[in-house]
Structure 1
Amino acid sequence: MSNARTQALLQSIMGAKMYQSSDKDETPSTVPLITVSRGFGANGSEIAARLAERLQVPLYDKELINEVTRQAKADPFLTKQLDERISGAMADWITSMFTGQSTSQDTFNYYMVKVIMNIAPQGGVIVGRGAHLLLSQKHRVFRLRVEGSLHVCAERVAKREDIKLKKAEKRVVQVDKERRDFVEGLYKNRSTRHNFYDMVINTDLFKPQATVGVVELALAEMGFVIPKK
């Protein structure tokens, strides 16, 4: 993980406005906030990167979020900053997700949730980590899922990792299960139910650039500002 990327995200969090809870109507942010959930081998990482580039917003992939989470656990000052930027009601809601749990993984996930909640008000493209469930009730967000058939996804994985197709098929099934288990364990919900997404795209049919174009149209309909080409 690039230390420069990590430091840039940390500085972004530190410089962000405090997240305030209010009963008053506020003008919704026009900066795109997108979560990308993906099947293994469905080109999700490439699509997320292309979206971030097209929309001129930061890309927050799994590795970056995990690295900042590790630093948050180890740095009391950073932990304090994360806490101060979350309202009392939201902090209570996050804490309630982990009530009665005390394993090392639960502690890591607790800080990971806080990191994602601090990222969200600034906009960006967040890959995985169940962010589509975490942010759906708290922020104005476009939730994208990209999928593909087992055969096509396995072909991509086989080519990318230089392995046999049968082994690639097993990898796809295994990684998809691990991702489902992670989200279901953390959010007590099924990550693949389509009513949790605003758009589901079959990447057997749509190439990454075409997917970006479709999402761009949907974001414009939602009122997000799309930078001119």
Structure 2
Amino acid sequence: MDKNYVITIGREFGSGGLEIGEKLGKILGIKCYDKELINMVAKDNGLDLDSVVKADEKKAHPLFNPGGHFAFSSSHNDLPAFGTFGNTYNDKMYIAEAEIIREVAEKESCIIVGRCADAILRDKNNLLKIFIQAPMTDRISRTAEKLNITPSAAEKEIKRIDKIRSSYYKYYTDDKWGGRLSKDFVINSSYLGIDGTVEFIKTIVDSRFK
């Protein structure tokens, strides 16, 4: 059995998923990876960081990918190296990011937010797959406050980001984003609040991995 455990956190925009991941990481004494993965992809592959940021968690445009989507290989040895796969920049970045996610998961216990990590690591034994959601009213309130925008603008931004994340996940995993059957726990962060949700997940981790 793997000695390291990994918690993957998918999240609706405005649900507090990233905050939950970061707080959980501090309590458990493990790293929470989010935007750090982008920097690692750029550094390891000699890529322009701005270009990598623009492609992050966005599927390839269909006009530039006539062959349709490709499924992620469950075998690390079958994973093409960055720059050798014959599809789009977004596809190549996904492959590079997937390689880094697998390397990090092999090296240490950690939390990975988004980026199809639950599907990429689906063959890992010590894996806890979480999806965070919340009522739209709470998501609007949190987003409006965080971005300093009106509730109306916040709702539009939530729907825009959710659509991007859903399309990205479906494109690269051929599965439903936030689907209950592919997750261990789907949690409403408003039920217990951010801190309560963190404690709830910690209880699960302590029971499952400690």
CA distance in 2, matches of 1:129, 1:60: 10
TM-score (norm 2): 0.80
Distance 1:105 1:28 in 2: 30
8 Å Cα contact 1:37-1:146 kept in structure 2: yes
State the partner residue of 1:212. Answer: 198
CA RMSD of aligned residues (A): 2.0
- Output one character per residue of 1:32-56: Cα deviation in whole Å (capped at 9) or x when no partner: 4101111100011110001100110
Question: Structure 1 stretch 157-166 or stretch 182-191: which is displaced more?
Answer: 182-191
Summarize deviations over 1:8-40 as a string: whole Å, max 9, x none. Answer: xxxxxxxxxxxxxxxxxxx432x4410111110
Kindly name which structure, 1 or 2, has the bigger radius of gyration based on alpha carbons: 1
Q: Distance in 2 between matches of 1:166 and 1:139?
A: 43
Distance in 1 of aligned mates of 2:86 and 2:165: 20
Q: 1:199 aligns with which of 185, 193, 200?
A: 185
Q: Which amino acid aligns with 1:35?
A: T
Contact 1:70 1:108 in 2 (8 A): no
Unaligned runs of 5+ in 2: 48-74
> In the alignment, what sits opposite 2:95?
110
CA distance in structure 2 between the partners assigned to 1:206 and 1:125 by the alignment: 20
**Is 2:5–2:105's contact at 8 Å kept on the other side of the alignment?**
no
- TM superposition outliers: structure 1 runs of 4+ over 2 Å: 98-101
Asked if structure 1 preserves the Cα contact closer than 8 Å seen for 2:170 and 2:177, the reply is: yes
User: Is 2:112 the counterpart of 1:138?
Assistant: no
**Aligned equivalents of 1:148 and 1:56: distance in 2?**
26
Q: Which has the higher contact order (CA 8 A, sep 6+)?
A: 2
Q: TM-score, normalised by structure 1?
A: 0.73
Question: 1:32-181, aligned counterparts within 5 Å?
Answer: 32-61=5-34, 63-74=35-46, 89-92=75-78, 94-95=79-80, 101-121=86-106, 122-181=108-167
Task: State the identity %.
Answer: 23
Q: Which structure 1 segments of 5+ residues have no match?
A: 1-26, 76-88
Give the equivalent residue in structure 1 for 2:58.
Answer: none
